[in-house]
Chain A
């Protein structure tokens, strides 16, 4: 093995864990116990990376895109640093099999929401859990004085002033609002299109 197992600072500034420099990390481990650790490492790596770069979507095809090293602006390249390691000899990319299993595991543990629903090849990642997002959302509404007024979902995920919620996918936003609605901190107003929400202090 030519490379030492050490954390590696990716060009984006993200510190990849040492296991990322280990060839076997990229191929499916048939031993169930080994695979358990492997998939756990992958889930935590993916969530941490998504959080670091504020990535919301993860698709099965991102693995291929990362391997193909699509050029600037190509879709899927934002995941390349995490899913692909060009410094290994030969370069390695996460196998589709692992990525599929990892995505399924993320969905099972409520850290990912299938979008569109009922499939497992494209998900919205919850690098904050849905209840955590609900807290952030409520905090934001309080801080910006937007309680008791009607807000559209678009307005929340595309605020005039950049916020933690900027760019948040609607699926995730709706889930977070549902959590708040259950405790009486928000009220959903179904409109003809889009719909809105009202927060309460």
Chain B
């Protein structure tokens, strides 16, 4: 063994955890042994009582009581050991977390080094230029459009918005007799209203959609 084994090195902490756990296992085994004795003493007491030997039954019960006390004591020891094991394991986890944080921090610092302020500014300038260029293109496209075309585009947008709101779905399913009131009044009000609103908005945005 040993030569072919890979994996992390066995540290002193690992050995300490192992030793603690072995101690804990020993206490557990000891408890098992006591439990067997407890059962045996109880059986002896019962048998003695059945045979009419009260004194012997009493002795057995006293021994049983003593063993029970031992069991309680070992329980306490076991608790101490187990809490020690879990706090050691927890601090190992904490150590790992610390290491992870450290690494993350150094990576972040390096990233910041690469992202110097000047570079960011230059990049932002470039972006602003690109935006301006895009706007110019939009305006040129807009001016090449007639008023009717623009209106058609607006109508199309309107229709899309209505569809998105799920409006047309209603008239399709509702019986024909109930239709007239709803569709005739609403669209007529809505078209001019929203149309005005659209006109006041910057025109570049609308043209982008087309």
Q: Is B75 positioned at the interface, with any CB of A under 8 Å from its CB?
A: no
Q: Is A107 positioned at the interface, with any CB of B under 8 Å from its CB?
A: no
Q: Which of B17-50 contact A (CB under 8 A)?
A: 17-19, 21-22, 25, 28-29
A184 to B4, CA, bound (A): 9
Closest A-chain residue to B21, C-beta based?
A152
Q: Which of A160-199 contact B (CB under 8 A)?
A: 181-182, 184, 187-196, 198
Determine whether the beta carbon of B4 is less than 8 Å from that of A196.
no
Determine whether the beta carbon of B25 is less than 8 Å from that of A189.
no
Determine whether the beta carbon of A184 is less than 8 Å from that of B22.
no
Q: Which residues of the other chain, B, contact A192 by a CB distance below 8 angstroms?
A: 19
Closest B-chain residue to A188, C-beta based?
B1
Q: Is A155 positioned at the interface, with any CB of B under 8 Å from its CB?
A: yes
Interface residues on B, range: 10 to 19
Q: Which residues of the other chain, A, contact B21 by a CB distance below 8 angstroms?
A: 150-152, 155, 196
Q: Is A154 positioned at the interface, with any CB of B under 8 Å from its CB?
A: yes
Given the known interface contacts A181-B5, A187-B5, A198-B7, the answer about A154 and B14 at a Cβ–Cβ threshold of 8 Å is no
Q: Which residues of the other chain, A, contact B19 by a CB distance below 8 angstroms?
A: 191-192
Determine whether the beta carbon of A200 is less than 8 Å from that of B7.
yes
A182 to B19, CA, bound (A): 24
Q: Is B6 positioned at the interface, with any CB of A under 8 Å from its CB?
A: yes
Contact with B along A38-49 (1 / 0, CB 8 A): 000000000000
Given the known interface contacts A150-B18, A196-B18, A198-B14, the answer about A187 and B7 at a Cβ–Cβ threshold of 8 Å is yes
Given contact pairs A152-B21, A187-B6, A189-B10, a sample of 17 additional A-B residue pairs in the complex whose CB atoms are under 8 Å apart: A150-B14, A150-B18, A150-B21, A151-B21, A154-B22, A154-B29, A155-B21, A181-B4, A181-B5, A182-B4, A188-B1, A189-B18, A191-B15, A191-B19, A194-B22, A196-B18, A198-B7
